[in-house]
Amino acid sequence: MPSLPVSSDDVTSAAPPSGEWTPDRWRDRPAAQQPDWPDPDALEAALAELRRQPPLVFAGEARSLSEQLAAAAEGRAFLLVAGDCAESFAAFSADAIRDKLKIILQMSVVLTYGSGVPTVKVGRMAGQFSKPRSSPTETRDGVELPSFRGDTVNDFAFEATARRPDPSRLVQAYHQSASTLNLVRAFTKGGFADLTRVHAWNQEFVASSREGQRYLALANEIERALRFMAACGIDLGTETLHEVDFWVAHEALLLGFEEALTRRDSLTGDWYDCSAHLLWIGERTRQLDAAHVEFLAGVENPIGVKLGADVAPDDVVALCDRLNPDRRPGRLVLFTRMGADRVGDALPPVLRDVTAARHPVVWACDPMHANTFTHASGYKTRRLDDIMREIEGFFAACDAAGVAPGGVHVELTGENVTECLGGSDEVLDEHLEERYETMCDPRLNARQSLDLAFRVAELLRR
């Protein structure tokens, strides 16, 4: 059984000795990307409500994930982080959650089969609502309104009332996260993710494609291998095949929300942000002395940091020193998102300096966020080829530096959308408008995701 963190009451029960980290310590620091909440009383009421809610995840689970990430840091496991750019209140449904799980399970099987090591499965799910924005306002036809910051903050519709930040959305996001996590736990522990059901994850529109057929062949091989093992008398009725570990992650952007869900673990006395297993700091909020780093430095969950191509290697080492001073393997994941054209130059010095400083990080590639461009039609999109080129550049740089390529981080959906260009059933320029449904960044559809998994598996096989 995972250890239960104490109730929210204990968070504030004892005054900490001065200097000790507390979940509100970030409040003394500049916090980028926080909404301008118009009504402070309503915000406080929402945060008080969140402080009363049960934790979404347990400290013991976060520790198990750290152990698996420690293996990924050494090349004994491979990390797959995948899900929406932004979850939404409107697109919330059991089917959408199931379909996202199906594609992540399919990708994991492909990766594990190729690499021969376990895939650590992490969903950008059950809490990935809040978005950093390049500009606080958006102007259309001369009308300027606050930018959409994710469903935790305001509404996507371009209207003054819709764009007004509303803290009751924080509470709604908590409840949607709880329902999502409940279903994810049921699916992954209740038989749906059983390896003997490997065929059932191939959705119809995927099965008809080239990569769907390739998946079918692999599923047949796995089935044959399972039959062979059973025939040899190996007991397949074990938990190992019937249940999978599935973790959830999001960007820890809205610090009031994260603070309200941070609890002290009753077993160890350590603080955990119980809103997700893994939390990451985005490219726009990773300033060393600012609020986001201050907050995440104090919680014991595994932490990710996004690194763009302009990052200074010194700053990365300083971030590692600050977030993982004890150099604990499994504590820190560095998600590099440098772009297909820049990864070859920008990544090697970062790999070199972090390795020289003996920081045992998981190196993972987010090949999405620096390969986004606005298409002539006005849609924000990405090319699967650029995404793959960045992953190949990442693998090459890791190989040259003698470090394990530890994982990939992708934005995808289980649905048949047309948001990213390319793939074997090619999404062409003129298809973008057909099913462009994301509220934020363009996602790979299930076929493109499977295609990517096969190509990454080939890189892992080398």
Of the pair 85, 219, the CB lying nearest Co ion is at: 85
Coil/strand/helix, residue 265:
strand
211 binds Co ion (CB under 5 A): no
Beta-strand relationship, 380-382 and 372-374: antiparallel
Choose from Co ion, ligand PEP, none: what does 97 bind? Cβ within 5-8 Å by kind: none
Q: Which residues of 93-108 are buried (b: 16+ CB within 10 A; e: fewer)?
A: eeebbbbbbbbbbbbb
Taking CB under 6 A as the criterion, the residue among 63, 331, 369, 389 binding ligand PEP is 369
Stretch near ligand PEP under the rule CB under 6 A, chosen from 102-110, 145-153, 281-289, 428-436: 281-289
Tokens of 29: 């620091």
Give the residue among 460, 403, 385 at the shortest CA–CA distance from 111. 460
Taking CB under 6 A as the criterion, the residue among 163, 263, 292, 306 binding ligand PEP is 306
Of the pair 70, 365, the CB lying nearest ligand PEP is at: 365
339: left (phi over 0), alpha (psi -120 to 50) or beta: left
Q: State which of positions 27-86 bind Co ion (CB under 5 A).
A: 85
| Amino acid (1-letter code) at residue 377 | S
Q: Tell me whether residue 367 is exposed, middle or buried, using C-beta atoms within 10 angstroms of its C-beta: 0 to 12, 13 to 18, 19 or more.
A: buried
- Rounded to whole angstroms, how far apart are CA atoms 140 and 82? 32
150 binds ligand PEP (CB under 6 A): no
Choose from Co ion, ligand PEP, none: what does 283 bind? Cβ within 5-8 Å by kind: ligand PEP
Choose from ligand PEP, Co ion, none: what does 282 bind? Cβ within 5-8 Å by kind: ligand PEP
- Rounded to whole angstroms, how far apart are CA atoms 382 and 421? 6
Choose from ligand PEP, Co ion, none: what does 75 bind? Cβ within 5-8 Å by kind: none
Of the pair 27, 380, the CB lying nearest Co ion is at: 380
Of the pair 130, 203, the CB lying nearest ligand PEP is at: 130
The residue count of the chain comes to 462
Stretch near ligand PEP under the rule CB under 6 A, chosen from 17-25, 226-234, 279-287, 344-352: 279-287
Coil/strand/helix, residue 272:
strand
Stretch near ligand PEP under the rule CB under 6 A, chosen from 254-262, 264-272, 276-284, 429-437: 276-284
Of the pair 26, 129, the CB lying nearest Co ion is at: 129
Q: With beta carbons less than 8 A apart as the criterion, state whether 447 and 205 touch.
A: yes
Q: With beta carbons less than 8 A apart as the criterion, state whether 298 and 273 touch.
A: no
339 binds ligand PEP (CB under 6 A): no
Coil/strand/helix, residue 425:
coil
337 binds ligand PEP (CB under 6 A): yes
Stretch near ligand PEP under the rule CB under 6 A, chosen from 282-290, 340-348, 377-385, 386-394: 282-290
Stretch near ligand PEP under the rule CB under 6 A, chosen from 24-32, 148-156, 182-190, 277-285: 277-285
In order of 113, 192, 208, 214, the CA distances from 221 in angstroms are 10, 19, 19, 11
- Rounded to whole angstroms, how far apart are CA atoms 4 and 108? 29
441 binds Co ion (CB under 5 A): yes
Taking CB under 6 A as the criterion, the residue among 118, 132, 348, 349 binding ligand PEP is 132
Provide the binding-site residues for ligand PEP, judged by CB under 6 A.
85, 132, 282-284, 306, 337, 369, 441
